[in-house]
Amino acid sequence: MIFLKTIPGLIMRIDVFTLFPEMFAGPLSNSILRRAQNKGVVEIRLHNFRRFAKDRHHTVDDTPYGGGAGMVLKPEPIFEAVEHLKNTTGPFPLFYLSPKGKVFNQKIATEMSNLKRFALLCGRYEGVDQRVIDGLVDEEISIGDYVLSGGEPAAIVVIDAVVRLLKGALGDEKSSEDESFSSDLLEYPHYTKPREFRGMEVPEVLVSGNHKEIADFRKESSLKITLQNRPDMLKLKGEANG
């Protein structure tokens, strides 16, 4: 399934292997992801690997060897789908969305944004046959310490985080530089008009016109928010510097 046609001058291509391509329709056709595709910043293609199942019922899962609850995704359809794409369009790294994977963060998103192309594999049920991981997957990625019904929501998170880092994806290229996790601190608070709303006023320093004081205020605010909400980030920073 192709979400958009190939666009000349493309910066990045992302392929997604999934049993439920329709789950991507809303997120990919709105806001920044839609604009990035229309501008030729990224091309996102969806591939339903069920169509590569050979039996009459297009079976993609089966019971696990050794017993246990749930079903496991069979290796054949996934291997067929991935190898077909590689044979027709060239090689690419494959990331499997899995609760067992390396926890996705801004550093990984930045590294992935430097790739010209990559693919995501969305698991379901009890996951994929281990031979898929051993034979096809370059890295397993998790978006957090919890379990989802499938890899599709996680894939959308990864795509959004990566695409917004691409040149031309955002209206203001500096927007992504000041966001949380782009530095060692969480992002400072933002204010806009009106200056007073229901008794709550914009901090005086932000309307002072003094750029140094504004920068100091924002840095101090980021530090306070990080200390309150994510003190582990400051600890990690200290360990890295130590």
Q: pLDDT for 152-163, tens place per residue?
A: 999 999 999 999
- The mean pLDDT of the chain is 90
- CA quadruple 111, 49, 76, 130: dihedral, nearest 10: 40
Q: Please give the angle made by the CA atoms of 207, 210 and 211, to the nearest 5 degrees.
A: 105
- Select the more confidently predicted residue: 3 or 24: 24
Is a pLDDT exceeding 90 seen at residue 177? Answer: no
Q: What is the pLDDT of residues 89-104, one digit of tens each?
A: 999 999 999 999 999 9
- Which of 165, 117, 154, 101 lies closest to 15, judged by CA? 117
Q: Determine the average pLDDT of the residues in 62-78.
A: 95
Where exactly are the structural domains of the chain? 12-163, 196-241
Q: What is the CATH number of domain 12-163?
A: 3.40.1280.10
The Cα-based distances of 135 to 73, 75, 78, 92 in angstroms read: 14, 10, 11, 14
- CA quadruple 48, 54, 56, 62: dihedral, nearest 10: -80
Is a pLDDT exceeding 90 seen at residue 169? Answer: yes
Q: Beta strand pairing status for 61-62 and 72-73? A: antiparallel
Q: Residue 10's pLDDT band (boundaries 50, 70, 90)?
A: low
The Cα-based distances of 26 to 34, 159, 223 in angstroms read: 10, 13, 36
Sheet of strand 117-122, all strands in order from the earlier edge strand to the far edge: 42-48, 12-18, 117-122, 94-103, 139-142
- Cα–Cα distance between 39 and 156 in angstroms, integer? 19
Q: What is the pLDDT of residues 218-242, one digit of tens each?
A: 999 999 999 999 998 887 666 666 5
- Select the more confidently predicted residue: 217 or 241: 217
pLDDT of residue 90: 96
Q: What is this structure's pTM? A: 0.84
| Cis ω before 64 (30° cut-off from 0) | no
Is 108 within 8 Å of 114 (Cβ atoms)? no
pLDDT of residue 234: 87
Is a pLDDT exceeding 50 seen at residue 4? Answer: no
pLDDT of residue 87: 98
pLDDT of residue 227: 95
Q: Determine the average pLDDT of the residues in 136-149.
A: 95
Is 93 within 8 Å of 119 (Cβ atoms)? yes
